Amino acid sequence: MAIVVCLFSRVHTADQTLSDVAVITAFWAWTPNCKSERSVICKSPISNDRQRLLVSSFSVHQHLGCFVFKQPTQRSFDYVLVAQKVDDEKDQKAQRQRAFIQQLEKKNISVTTLYHEDKVFYGLRAAREMFEDYQYLLKVSDSCNCCGETSGAVTQTTRIRIVHFILEQTFINTGGECDQIPCLICVHYHTRNIDSYETRYMRQKTQQPFISYFGEKVALYYLWLSWYTKLLIPAAALGVVVFLYGLAFFNTNPLIKEVCESNITMCPRCDNRCKVWQLSDTCTYAKVSHLFDNEGTVAFAMFMAIWATLFLEFWKRTRARYVCQWKVFDWSEEEEELILDIVNDQNCTPKQFRHSYLRSTLVLILVTLMLVIIIGLALALVVFRVVAAALMSESSHWDFVKENANTVAVLLGAVLHYITIQIMTRINRSVAFQLCAIEETNSFAATERSFTVKMFTFQFFTLFSSLFYVAFFLGRINGHPGSYVRIARWRLEECHPSGCLTDLFIQMAVIMVLKQTINNIFEFTVPWLKRCLGRNAAKKLERKCGHCYRKTCRNEDGCVEPCNICKLRDWLRNYHLTNTDAFSLFNEFLEMVIQFSFTTIFVAAFPLAPLLALINNIFEIRLDAIKMVRLERRLVPRKTNDIGVWTKVLEAIGVLAVMANGLVIGVSSDFIPRLVYRYRYGPCANGITLTCMEGYINDTLATAFLNHTGIQNDFQHSQMKTEYGYNATSCSYRDYRSAEDYSLTSQFWLVLAVRFAFVILFEHVVVVCKFIAAWFVPDSPIRVKNDRLHDKLRRTTDTQKRDEMIFINPWRVQVIL
């Protein structure tokens, strides 16, 4: 018995009407050439234009003279739900589960139920009509009608995205979400094909493997990360050159030589047990300082500020080129969410935009309070370093620790800072979510933007508050002999006579190395260990499922649905993977943007930061790909055409980097004092034919005499005893002060004026260069603009022809048995 459906249509053209030109006979044909496909044989000739329109409009392809509608049997499920099995049907949990499943079935989602021990698995498949509605709404949309999904077969990523949205918007009769089905799994399929994604993605110029499996959002993340890593290569190379420049004069620099050969007696670093010490004892410290505080860092800081601008501008061009290829250039997330609302419920009402000044004020107050707490933690770290340095100087049993108490305190403070970062990251995340809940945004896109800004702000202050203190306040608010500033009777830290930049370098190096290395280890090993530990249990569960001997189940290209045994085994494997959520990709972006901040903001103090970032990213890309494909549950594929609010965040970081590096060079480093000494106070300024920097270290030191009343209150006689056994009557400290009344000298004010002038000049020059670079490099390439024009013309022409040729109007169906 065969069923033949005869379809008669009237074809309308612009200038004439042809009656019954094409009579199409459609039938289900099980032939060797067209298995499980609907073949349409056209008995009358069709022009090439109409053939192209038929193919684009009705998702067909030509095969052996036939137009074939491909309708293979769907092997995969759109989503899988996992819940606790409840034997008692009258139990409230069972009733809530059953109510939730019934709500899904009312929305035309078929549910396949499988039981395994104490778990129940629900496999979900949405009906074809749901996706047809989605495609129709895309066509009539203002922003989403240019995407490639308005016709043809709906991709698996789109199916998952639609079903996921419906699950998030499905509520039971009580008016809330069903908390008795806590586990929603986006299942990994075809693992043989995707296992090589992590090694193939860089060779795929279109990023198509990731788009077809993870969606555009994940593809854009890897595209951005790849682009960022590539542009780190010149920055890392120049940073190494600056470091080698300092290393080349490691032993011949006159400033280092002056410190190492000095016989100057320095004032005690702390109260009570700290004694006077010789400047030559810090010879190694002075050498390390010169590696990162030299003339090359100024040029490198300017380069990195312009590099950040060029990176963003060229990234915008790269993004435009790829999203144009993916046909999502004009795509709108808010409009997509509105379309999904209609697909979920045709009688839905659009979510209104709302703004409450009361809620905004409350959120602003809470954000400010949170930032005050974070800054307070940074001040607590300052107190810790002060106390630790004093205790180690007084009571340490190791001479090395006692002699280098300040450096050890800085290292311990950096480690404690890292621990604080790890703890505060969890707290910041929870607080940011609560603040977003208070705002009551009208869409997930708005919630994601709000959460991104708040979370990044909290993390930025958590990581950089201590660094800003070291860069701009350390050694400048501690006072001087006779008038020291104290916190709870403890003296504040002082800078080394060679400068404070080494302390900033130590902080950055420890945080970057620990944060990147330990984070990568934990991000990869925790899911891997979880998979290994759960592998035995999963295998036992899979063995209890039974064994399947059907060849069709093992053939991924077949048209037969897998048996229940194979379904359950596959779902169990996915169930035991590490869980993911809507903000899993956000964590990866946050990690890289924080790294970008370290690479650009204080790069003048740490020229090797781009090199460390480059090495980290080489491993990060591959580890992230392996983690997403093998160790974690599949991310819900999401469509997008940009990295979102992260672009604005990166632009803000670029502007902040200009100001921070200008202040680091002008205020924190000794570049300006050395410049002033060379041309105003040094031997060259007086016409003496000596090295221009001869005597610079001695010029930056002031002298404190013990016979002064204020000095006697700060220093005890036992502290003034030198290692040679005699009592020092005076000592030196780093400052521009008079030896008579300890007032600031004219040289201090001259240096301060030049510092401010340099900061203003540096920032203006770099900002002008940034604007020129941004103007010179357009956001979209000319080729992309031309391609978009041609694409709009083609879509307009196709729409016009589609309106002229109304197929099957009306449809008349005859069934012949």
Instruction: List CB contacts of 346: < 8 A, sequence separation 6 or more.
Output: none
**DSSP assignment string, 292-355:** HSSTHHHHHHHHHHHHHHHHHHHHHHHHHHHHHHTT-TT--HHHHHHHHHHHH-TT--PPPP--
Structure confidence at residue 49 (pLDDT): 52
**Among the listed residues 23, 25, 27, 22, the one whose alpha carbon sits nearest the alpha carbon of residue 37:** 27
Residues pairing with 62 in the sheet: 67
Q: Which helix (H) or strand (E) holds 742?
A: none
C-alpha 218/C-alpha 321 separation (Å) is 17
Q: Collapsing DSSP states into helix, strand and coil, what is residue 219? A: helix
Within 584-635, residue ranges assigned H as helices are: 584-600, 609-626
* pLDDT the model gives residue 809: 41
Cα(221)–Cα(198) distance, integer angstroms: 13
Asked if residue 459 lies in contact with residue 465, where contact means CB atoms within 8 angstroms, the answer is no
Q: Is 145 exposed, middle or buried (0-12, 13-18, 19+ CB in 10 A)?
A: middle
Gap between the Cα atoms of 256 and 499, Å rounded: 12
Q: CA 600, 606, 609 angle in degrees (round to 5)?
A: 60
Under 8 Å between Cβ of 10 and 19 = yes
For the four alpha carbons of 776, 778, 783 and 789, in that order, the dihedral sign comes to negative
Q: Residue 441: which H helix or E strand, with range?
A: none
DSSP state of 46: -
Distance (Å, rounded) from C-alpha 779 to C-alpha 321?
Answer: 10
Cβ neighbours for 581, distance < 8 A, ≥ 6 positions apart: none
Sign of the torsion angle spanned by Cα atoms 586, 591, 594, 599: negative
Residue-range domain boundaries for the chain:
4-71+802-816, 79-185, 218-341+356-671
For 407-432, b where at least 16 C-beta lie within 10 A, e where not — what string? bbbbbbbbebbbebbeebbeebbebb
Q: What angle do CA 643, 648, 650 make, to 5 degrees?
A: 85
Please tell me the distance from the alpha carbon of residue 21 to that of residue 89, in angstroms, as a whole number.
61
- Can you point out the beta strands (E) in 686-754? 701-705, 730-734
Q: Which residues contact 301 (CB under 8 A, 6 or more apart)?
A: 603, 604, 661, 662, 664, 665
- Average pLDDT for consecutive 10-residue bins of the chain (817 residues)? 35 34 32 38 48 46 47 66 83 84 89 87 89 83 64 82 89 58 76 49 57 88 93 94 85 83 86 82 82 83 88 92 86 84 83 84 95 92 81 68 73 85 92 92 86 94 89 84 81 76 82 82 82 69 60 55 77 85 90 92 89 92 88 89 92 91 87 90 73 86 84 80 82 88 90 94 88 85 84 74 52 37
The CA dihedral of 277, 283, 287, 288, to the nearest 10 degrees, is -50
- Are the C-beta atoms of residues 492 and 499 closer than 8 Å to each other? no
Positive or negative, the Cα torsion across 75, 81, 82, 88?
negative
pLDDT of residue 23: 31
* Model confidence, pTM: 0.83
